[in-house]
Amino acid sequence: MRVNALSGVKVLDLSTMMAGPFGAMMLADLGAEVIKVETIDGDGTRAFQPHFKDGDSLYYHSLNRNKKSIAIDLKSEKGLALFYELVRKVDVVWDNYRAGVKEKLKVDYDSVVKYNPGIISCSITAFGTDNPHDDDQPSFDLCVQAMSGVLGMTGEPDRPPVKMGVPMGDLGSGWYGVVGVLAALFARGRTGKGQKVDVAMLDGLVSLHTYEAVYYLNSGVVPNRIGTAHRSVVPYQIFPTKSIYIAIVGTIDKFWVSICNVLGIPEWATDERFKTLDGRFRNREMVVAKMSEKLMERDCEEWVKEFRKAKVPCGPVNPMDKALNEPLLLARDMVVEVERGGETIKLLGNPVKMSGNEEVYSAPPRLGENTDEILSRMAGLGAEDIAKLRQESVIK
**pLDDT tens digit string along 154-168?**
999 999 999 999 999
Asked whether the predicted pLDDT for residue 137 surpasses 90, the reply is no
pTM of the model: 0.95
Residue pLDDT, tens place only, 274-316: 999 999 999 999 999 999 999 999 999 999 999 999 999 999 9
What pLDDT is attached to residue 3? 84
What pLDDT is attached to residue 109? 98
User: How many Cβ atoms are within 10 Å of 357's Cβ, its own excluded?
Assistant: 18
What pLDDT is attached to residue 237? 98
Asked whether the predicted pLDDT for residue 233 surpasses 80, the reply is yes
Residue pLDDT, tens place only, 138-157: 899 999 999 999 999 999 99
Confidence of residue 1 (pLDDT cuts 50, 70, 90): low
What are the structural domains, with CATH classification, of the chain? Answer: 10-208+330-391 (3.40.50.10540), 246-316 (3.30.1540.10)
- Residue from 203, 94, 97, 95 nearest 144 by CA: 203
Round to whole Å and give the CA distance between 212 and 82: 48
Round to whole Å and give the CA distance between 309 and 177: 40
Sheet holding 33-38, edge to edge: 67-71, 33-38, 10-13, 92-95, 120-125, 196-200
Residue pLDDT, tens place only, 86-131: 999 999 999 999 989 999 999 999 999 999 999 999 999 999 998 8
Bridge partners of residue 35, in order along the sequence: 12, 68
What pLDDT is attached to residue 35? 98
What pLDDT is attached to residue 200? 97
What would the mean pLDDT of 52-66 be, rounded to a whole number?
Answer: 98
User: What amino acid positions are annotated as catalytic residues?
Assistant: 170
Asked whether the predicted pLDDT for residue 272 surpasses 70, the reply is yes
What pLDDT is attached to residue 134? 80
Q: How far, CA to CA in Å, does 348 sit from each of 13, 344, 358?
A: 20, 13, 16
Length of the chain: 396
Q: What dihedral angle (degrees, nearest 10) is formed by the CA atoms of 147, 150, 152, 155?
A: -150
pLDDT over 70, % of the chain? 99
Q: Which residues of 265-302 are buried (b: 16+ CB within 10 A; e: fewer)?
A: beebbeeeebbebebbeebbeebbebbeebbeebebee
